[in-house]
Amino acid sequence: MLIELPDVQTLSDIYHLPQPIQVEEVAEDLHLIHTPEGDFSLNIYQDNDALDQQRYLHWLVMALSQYDLSFTLPYPVRDHQGATIHRSGTGHSWVLAPQLFGQPIQPNDPDHAYATGLALADLHRALARIQPLLRPGHTDYTIDARTLPNLRRVLPQSPAEIGLNDTPEGRHRVQRFVLLAERFWQPPPPPDGHINWHIVHGDFFGANLRYDGTLVTGVMDFSAAHPDYRAREVAEVLMRVADDLGSLFWGTARAFVEGYSEILKLTAAEIELIPRFVVESQVDRVLFETGRKAADALRAQEDISAWLEGESARLQAMMRGVFLGE
């Protein structure tokens, strides 16, 4: 079904937007809506599966609205009938949300890292109070299936499947990767009073965060939100804010951890899981990507895994010092 360009008058009537309105097409299913009162993004959906995802995300964002967060969320705009998902006359569904302003978070900057840690803990504190309903289409994220969801796909058998040349070295790297991935078929310890499990954001970094030079002012794109270990998300975000494994790492990593600790403290059991979750996130990236991107992800996984062999104890000691005062 062809996606039609939104009509300016229709948008004004449906969402009570002041004119003049300018519509800027970013992609066939995404438009920026510029109005005198601010800018909005309009997402257009054609199938019910996408709508089920949107209903879940709207439920989650609205559930978060009852908490006094330190940043803004892109709450969907209600149409003239009070719905957050509008069914257009062409059979499509529209979701309108305000654009959040600020600069994206940058890696390897201690100030950005501290603000990211502070905001992530603030979000986790609120998410821990919300019943962790399963996200449609992500049924692997359950208490009884705590392994990486992508590992349930077939692991690569040839170098070409992850963007490598079919050489002895390529085959050796695939074999080594498969052995590493299979280690994570064994699930982590079950959540309990020492290991926390709740909905997480799923992609808490970069352009999904808005930063004003001091604090994170906005958090966007909950499309990857799902129930999971909070320590897994801490590990993943840590390695994104501090992705330089050289001299810049420790100052940035500590700033992130100190920001998080201002609001929440990881437990000793969660700190012990951090190196495992760091590697898991890298394994997941390799399986998620294809071609050249998969090869790049594999190289990053190999570098981080090798780095952790010598630095995981130091990483855990730093976190225990910040969170537990040891």
CATH class of the domain whose range is 8-98: alpha beta
Q: Residue 153's pLDDT is what? A: 56
Q: Residue 137's pLDDT is what? A: 60
Tens-digit pLDDT profile for residues 276-315: 999 988 988 888 888 899 999 999 999 999 999 999 999 9
Instruction: Quickly list H helices, the chain.
Output: 8-15, 48-64, 110-127, 168-183, 230-241, 249-261, 268-288, 291-324
Q: Residue 276's pLDDT is what? A: 93
CATH class of the domain whose range is 110-324: alpha beta
| Domain residue ranges of the chain, discontinuous segments joined by + | 8-98, 110-324
Sheet strands side by side (includes 86-87):
22-27, 30-35, 38-45, 93-98, 86-87
Mapped onto helix, strand or coil, the DSSP state of residue 225 is coil
Q: Residue 150's pLDDT is what? A: 46
Q: Residue 146's pLDDT is what? A: 45
Who's near 173: CB < 8 A, 6+ residues apart?
Answer: 159, 164, 298, 302
What stretches in the chain show pLDDT beneath 70? 1-5, 47-50, 134-153, 185
Listed residue (261, 236, 241) closest to 318, CA to CA = 261
